[in-house]
Amino acid sequence: MNIEILVHTLATDSIGARAAARLAQSLVARHRVTVVTVRGAAAPHPGLRLPANVDVLALAPSVGAGDRDDDETSQLVIAGDPEFRRYNRADDGRLRKHLSASGADAVVALSSALGAALAQCRVPHARRIARQPAPVERLPESVRARWTELYRELDAVVPLTQGDAAAPEYQALRAAGVEVRHIAEPVLLAESPDKPTTGVVISAGRLVSHRRVDLALHAFAQTRAAHPGWQLRVVGTGPLHRETRELVTALGLHDHVLLFDREAGEEDFYDADIALVAAERLDSGRPVLEALAQATPVVATEVPYGAPEVLAEGHGGLLVPVGDVQATARALERYMADERLRSAHRAQALRTAQSAGTEQVGDAYEELFRAVKAGIRGRWGKRQRTGGGAPAEDRPLPTADCRVLPNGAWEVTLRGVSGARTVRVKEQGKGREEVVDFPVESGRTRALIDARALAVLGEGRADLYVVDGRGKERRLRYGRCTLGGARDVGHLSDLDNFHWVLPYATEGGYLRLRVWSRPSHAELVAVDYSDTSLWLTGWLQGEWQLGGELLLLLRRRQEPARTLAAGRVRFEGGWFGAELNMDEAMRARLLMRENWDVLLTDSSGSEPVRVARIADDQVVRRDVQRFPELVREEPTDLFGPDVGRAVVGLRPYFTADNELSLVVTEHH
């Protein structure tokens, strides 16, 4: 059949766009699938990983997802709907025009706003289906009556939760002959519950008050004394980003919490040992299912439509009362202290999520299509197009999924290629010519990359290509990369120098490597604060002369020739500790605001080495980790009694290369 999925946009990596991409993946093996976008360009956001054999038809490719090209409000979307202000009269016209000429056998709308629009548009020969992303009781009371009236015109409605499916509004739809069927939102399933231990807790979701990220931070803070090696990753966008950052600082968690201003992906859940869902309200079990699907046990609150619908206590997760910080902390500690429990629950989590896998959801929609007789009067021939978009390429783009193993090696799995012989790594940049080839094995879809073989690459960037039997290169796109194993640094002991490589996605969606290669390296592990100084802790790798004295240096960015001795360094058993006294930077400053790079040097007289945080799975740390500012008034004896005393702040930060620097600012 010809299936159309109606969504607001694919130009952003939003929850709605991801839902469209996953539903398309569930259906495309059996049907011709087109995603119709109301706004935005036809090219999908690379993070969505939309299958290459799914078409995208953009009704308004030149209109941004949040723009308005018409001041008149929509007549198709119900006034008061949460998305009412998103649409206008021009959107109405484009939707009517497209749907009236659509060659689809079934059209699936993915929001209440588009569901209402679909109910009022004629679609010849097609079955009209609306997926309801949130419980109908969450719609304003003024909207619900109109919603029920319009949805009576549809052939089927798909609530995402069983609790929502029992609402009175759905009872009224059933009485009117509308097929109502609960189908979970599809998720991608991990191949196996066996994965590296990372010591990571993930809290993912929009940063709004009812998601209670504040409770997640307070609960995690209570685990720090007993389990200091764990890290919390908060992943999500929203209006409370600044408040969340401030709470991280207030709780002293700057070295233990990373804050990502983006939507969470499957790899984020896979790379975590525990998922924490502290919300006091959820619209569906999706936040829980996403973690379970990646074999990650969940600590979740017992809220309606959420975790209780998805999992039973002790079967892939632990349930806690809403708003209970102590109970949440105890559940986290129970997992943190017991690797055997986490391992058992990983397997149970994956089994629990099986019903929401893309294949299983595809089966559920097949049954729904049969129930509403989709395709009986439909057009089984070639799809008609109504402008604005272009079909996806028939030949899928070569894509690489990669997994970093605990020994530092990478497992690369190829998709969308045939006849592959080699995965090629080529240095990127002017004058960079090093090439490293790795044979493709295991049915010509898998290559194993030994990190030691990449040690010939210089510091910088490198691109990945697949090479066929004729020697033709095709650049690889970024698929799904899980980097949990990159936190294990054991393989570094075999190297005389420091060498670290991480994969990442370019803005265009291609797979690229960030390479750090240095004869000597000072890896920062922690930054602790006192009233007047910072204490830096880390380890050393490479060509260090450790028989003499180690010194901590500051080098002014605006005047690289000026270097300031900032303190002595203690060294024992491969680890260093250094105290950076704030007075030295205060005394040496010349400007209202200046930057100082932090270095270590030994007694050999060689070039000082930048202190950095590299041996981890973060390509760019400065975007996700922010240190608090150390603020104090200048001492009276700093410049003499007749000189006015300023209030000066010193804040560490990471550069684009993950190297540690300080910004010294005079406040007024």
Domain ranges of the chain: 2-186+357-390, 200-353, 399-518, 520-667
Return the CATH number of the domain spanning residue range 399-518. Answer: 2.60.40
Q: Is the pLDDT of residue 575 over 80?
A: yes
- What residues have CB less than 8 Å from 530, skipping those under 6 apart? none
Residue 496 has a pLDDT of 78
Residue 379 has a pLDDT of 36
Q: Are 68 and 395 in contact (CB under 8 A)?
A: no
- Are 2-186+357-390 and 200-353 the same fold in CATH? yes
Q: Is the pLDDT of residue 120 over 80?
A: yes
Residue 644 has a pLDDT of 60
Confidence of residue 486 (pLDDT cuts 50, 70, 90): low
The 3-class SS string of 57-79 reads EECCCCCCCCCCCCCCECCCCCC
pLDDT digits (tens, 9 = 90+) for 511-531: 999 999 999 999 999 999 988
Q: Is the pLDDT of residue 316 over 60?
A: yes
Q: Which helix (H) or strand (E) holds 36?
A: strand 32-37
Q: What is the mean pLDDT of residues 346-370?
A: 93
pLDDT digits (tens, 9 = 90+) for 417-426: 888 899 999 9
Burial (CB count <10 Å: 0-12, 13-18, 19+), residue 570 = exposed
Distance CA 621, CA 659 (A): 9
Q: What is the mean pLDDT of residues 123-136?
A: 93
- Return the amino acid letter for 458: G
Distance CA 650, CA 581 (A): 10
Confidence of residue 394 (pLDDT cuts 50, 70, 90): very low
Q: Is the pLDDT of residue 639 over 70?
A: no
Grouping H, G, I as helix, E, B as strand and the rest as coil, residue 87 is: coil
Residue 485 has a pLDDT of 65
Q: Is the pLDDT of residue 350 over 90?
A: yes
Query: Tokens representing 439?
Result: 């044979």
- What residues have CB less than 8 Å from 228, skipping those under 6 apart? none
Distance CA 232, CA 210 (A): 19
Residue 641 has a pLDDT of 54
Query: Tokens representing 332?
Result: 């986290």
The 3-class SS string of 539-551 reads EEEECCCCCCCCE
Q: Is the pLDDT of residue 386 over 50?
A: no
Confidence of residue 23 (pLDDT cuts 50, 70, 90): very high
Residue 222 has a pLDDT of 97
Determine which of 257-261, 285-289, 345-349, 401-405 has the lowest per-residue pLDDT on average.
401-405
- Which of the following CATH numbers is that of domain 200-353: 3.40.190.10, 3.40.50.2000, 3.40.50.11260, 3.40.50.300? 3.40.50.2000
Residue 383 has a pLDDT of 38
Residue 158 has a pLDDT of 96
Grouping H, G, I as helix, E, B as strand and the rest as coil, residue 493 is: helix
Residue 487 has a pLDDT of 65
Residues listed for the chain: 668
Q: Is the pLDDT of residue 387 over 70?
A: no
Architecture of domain 2-186+357-390 in this structure? 3-Layer(aba) Sandwich (3.40)
Q: What is the mean pLDDT of residues 161-177?
A: 92
Q: What sign results for the dihedral spanned by CA atoms 81, 87, 90, 96?
A: negative
Determine which of 146-150, 209-213, 328-332, 380-384 has the lowest per-residue pLDDT on average.
380-384
Residue 450 has a pLDDT of 85
% residues pLDDT > 70 (the chain): 92
Q: What sign results for the dihedral spanned by CA atoms 91, 93, 94, 99?
A: positive
Burial (CB count <10 Å: 0-12, 13-18, 19+), residue 308 = middle
- What residues have CB less than 8 Å from 261, skipping those under 6 apart? 236, 237, 241, 623
Query: Tokens representing 254?
Result: 């700057």
Residue 561 has a pLDDT of 81
413: β partners: 401, 446
Q: Are 503 and 517 in contact (CB under 8 A)?
A: no
Q: Is the pLDDT of residue 138 over 80?
A: yes
How many CA atoms, within 13 angstroms, populate the side-chain half-sphere of residue 246? 4
Q: Is the pTM of this model over 0.85?
A: yes
Confidence of residue 333 (pLDDT cuts 50, 70, 90): very high
Q: Which of 203, 222, 201, 219 is nearest to 325 (CA)?
A: 219
Residue 384 has a pLDDT of 38
Residue 544 has a pLDDT of 84
Q: Is the pLDDT of residue 391 over 50?
A: no
Residue 582 has a pLDDT of 81
Q: Is the pLDDT of residue 492 over 80?
A: no
- Return the amino acid letter for 12: T
The 3-class SS string of 224-281 reads CCCCCCCEEEEECCCCCHHHHHHHHHHCCCCCCEEEECCCCCHHHHHCCCEEEECCCC
Q: Is the pLDDT of residue 313 over 80?
A: no
Q: Is the pLDDT of residue 392 over 50?
A: no
Q: Which of 514, 518, 517, 581 is nearest to 544 (CA)?
A: 518
% residues pLDDT > 90 (the chain): 59
Measured CA to CA in angstroms, residue 178 lies from 68, 170, 185, 345, 392 at distances of: 34, 9, 20, 39, 34
Backbone φ, ψ for residue 65 (5° rounding): -60, -35
**Residue that wins the pLDDT comparison between 379 and 282:** 282
Q: What sign results for the dihedral spanned by CA atoms 183, 188, 190, 191?
A: positive
Q: Are 592 and 667 in contact (CB under 8 A)?
A: no
